[in-house]
Amino acid sequence: METKTDSRLFLRYSLHQVSIKQFLKSDFIKNAGLLFSSSGIAQLLALIVVPFLTRIYRDQSDHGHMASFLSLVAIGVAVSTLKYEQAIMIEEDRSRAKSLVKLSMWINLAWFILFGLLLLLCQRWLLPLLDLTVFENWLYLIPITIFLTGVVEIMTVWWNRERKYKRLSGNRLATAVTSSGYKLTHGLLSFTRTNGLILGHTIGQLMSVVLYLPKSLFKQLTTNWTEVRELIKTYQNFPKWAMPSTLINVIGTNLPVLIITPLLTAEMTGYFSNALKLTYIPLGAVSYAIGQVFYERLARLKSEPERLVLTNNIVRFLFLLALLPVVVMVVWGDLITPFILGSDWAISGQMTQIVVLFYFVMYLSSPFAAAFEVYDKLSYQFWFTAAFTLATSLALYLTLRLTGNVFHGLIAFSFTGIIVRLAMMVSCFRLIGSNVIGKLLTGLVIAAASIALATFIRYSLS
pLDDT tens digits for 262-317? 788 878 988 998 888 888 877 887 787 787 778 878 887 777 888 888 888 888 88
Q: How far, in whole angstroms, is CA 107 from its chain's centroid?
A: 22
The pLDDT assigned to 436 comes to 85
Determine the average pLDDT of the residues in 31-35. Answer: 55
441: enclosing H helix or E strand: helix 437-461
Q: Mind listing the pLDDT tens digit for each residue in 94-104? A: 889 989 999 99
Determine the average pLDDT of the residues in 180-199. Answer: 79
Q: Mind listing the pLDDT tens digit for each residue in 294-303? A: 887 888 777 7
- 26 DSSP assignment: S
Q: Label residue 154 by pLDDT band (50, 70, 90).
A: very high
Q: How far is CA 403 from CA 170, 257, 395, 396, 418, in A?
A: 46, 18, 12, 11, 22
Q: Are 327 and 448 in contact (CB under 8 A)?
A: no
75: enclosing H helix or E strand: helix 60-79
The pLDDT assigned to 136 comes to 58
Q: Label residue 127 by pLDDT band (50, 70, 90).
A: low
